[in-house]
A and B are shown apart, each in its own frame.
Chain A
Amino acid sequence: MVEEMRIVLRNLGKIDPLKIDDYINAGGYKSLQKAWGMSQMDVIQEVKNSGLRGRGGAGFNAGVKWGFSYNTPADQKYVVCNADEGEPGTYKDRIIMEKDPQSLLEGMAICGYAIGATKGFIYCRGEYPFVAELLNQAIKQAKDKGVLGDFDIEVRMGAGAYVCGEETALIESIEGHRGEPRFKPPFPGVSGLWGKPTVVNNVETFANLPSILEKGADWYKAIGAPGYPGTKVVTLTGDVANKTFFEVPTDTSIRDVVFGLGGGIPNNKKFKAVQIGGTSGGFIPEALLDTPIDFDSMGAIGATLGSGAVFVMDETRDIVDIATRIAKFFEHESCGKCTPCREGTKRMYELMVKMNNGQATAGDWALMNKLGSTMKQISLCGLGQAAPVPILTTMEHFNQEYKAKLLA
């Protein structure tokens, strides 16, 4: 029987999110104090050893990322929290911030000490003004208590742009520009916000840190899948009995998430597909459900863990219609900076509409494959690289549904 394991959501329901004393009484801010008693290098080494990898979707080793900023001399460095969760079907960062905002602040302050930054920003998506308000109250309480030391945190609001979840687009947005991704290198760790060394981590990544510092790297490393240790907060949507969130060890299988915790498919229907990681994730058929959800196992089947969104579809769903809707999403959200994505998402949506309306030919099918693989290889950022993935994976795993709509 699969069970939840709560690390980032350890205080869920046990504390009042807007009472910092509750957090402190539950052991809060002890980890930051512990970090202050260690050398910066030792803190970074501890995070490296824990194996903690980014929970926003890219899965980069957090300690290694911090090392880049630590090793780059500068008069000012920044810690940036990516709270721009925009992957459809995802709301785990909202839950973490709403239920335990101090965990995030403590995690950011630990990072700030480790890399030598005194200033942090939380970039909160425009859809969450109520979360920004809550964060501002939590920050005020932390400042009044003096628990953050000389580390300052400011909330900046987005305004409805999916691409700002990409770290360099997010940085551009904090700087007051259009949220268009930068060319890399240089990476933000070396030259980020206002050209200064900047660590950008996801909400969930930061929220893991107090427990890692408290219990140690070895404890964390032993949880879940060895290559991507710890837990992951997943959010279940679509045709699944329990449409809610769970925190599970990363070696939990997709089947255990959907049929165990998720309670399976309602209304006596059969399972058809699940898309994990948000709208940019690959579609997964029944045959691959025993795959563990960790980053590398998902990559091995051409899918992603991504944000941890779990979108379930039952046997009655029209896969081509859903993929068409997804193609429209990317056409709308492409920032337009690079040609493969700007033109590619537009043409892909046109082709999908044609396909969905039963007007596509075998030539269009071949064109979609070619366009998709081109976008994957040469788009500037993750948006354009991932945009064709839902189309290509549905073409692969559910090709009968496409073939049924092709012109004879």
Chain B
Amino acid sequence: MLSRKTAVLAAFCLLGTSLTHAADKPTDPQIAHIAYTAGTIDIEAAQQAVKMSKNENVVGFAKDMVRDHEAVNKQALDLVKKLKVTPEDNDTSRALAEAASAERSKLSKLDGAAFDKAYVENEVAYHKQVNEALETLLIPSASNAELKSLLETGLKIFQGHQQHAEQVAAELK
């Protein structure tokens, strides 16, 4: 089975490939959809962890993810409403959602320390991939200044999440 990390990478490569044709650069409505989808995926992963984990640090981390990603996604929705932009589904969003669904089903078969380790390691890898995509593709492609600024703040938040996940992973060992 394709690991979540590989699948997420594949999803963003799909976006990268389309970028080789300048005309196919992701549009703001597509970027908004990808960013929102990426946030929703992490909220769903965290909700699963809150239900399944008995580890205080892991549950605490997962609750932090729900709170932060819900706040960022709410801000994203407010912005697209203000800009009168309708987020547009696209291949990258679909590939991300598929990869996330596969990962959730993989994690659902684990429990205890094995679940905690798999969840937290995926959180590190997932945030790393999303951050790379933000830095190299989504932020440079965004044309609206407010959307770009929101993505830039998002990058700082998710870089923080990546470091937080790395700390939780180190504590599990």
| A and B are partners in one complex rather than unrelated chains | no
Q: Which residues of A contact B (CB under 8 A)?
A: none
